[in-house]
Amino acid sequence: MTRKDILSGSGNISHEQALKKAHVEYDKYMQNHLTTAEQDYLEVLNKEIKEIDK
């Protein structure tokens, strides 16, 4: 709206570095924000894995 450049310069990190950081941060976020169904599913899987290991 103001016709001014919002972003100037080429930035400090590469595209690959930005993607890697975004994926790492997203994985951290998702570990703390699982739905109840996802948590239940993981619990069932862990129980089954323990039974298999016996």
pLDDT digits (tens, 9 = 90+) for 13-24: 888 999 999 999
Distance CA 23, CA 40 (A): 24
What is the number of structural domains in the chain? 1
Does a structural domain hold residue 1? Answer: no
The pTM of the full predicted model, rounded to 2 decimals, is 0.45
Would you say how long the chain is, in residues?
A: 54
Residue 49 lies in a domain: yes
Residue 22: domain span: 15-53
Task: List pLDDT tens digits, range 1-51.
Answer: 677 767 666 678 888 999 999 999 998 888 888 888 988 998 999 999 999
Contact indicator for 34, 42 with CB cutoff of 8 Å: yes
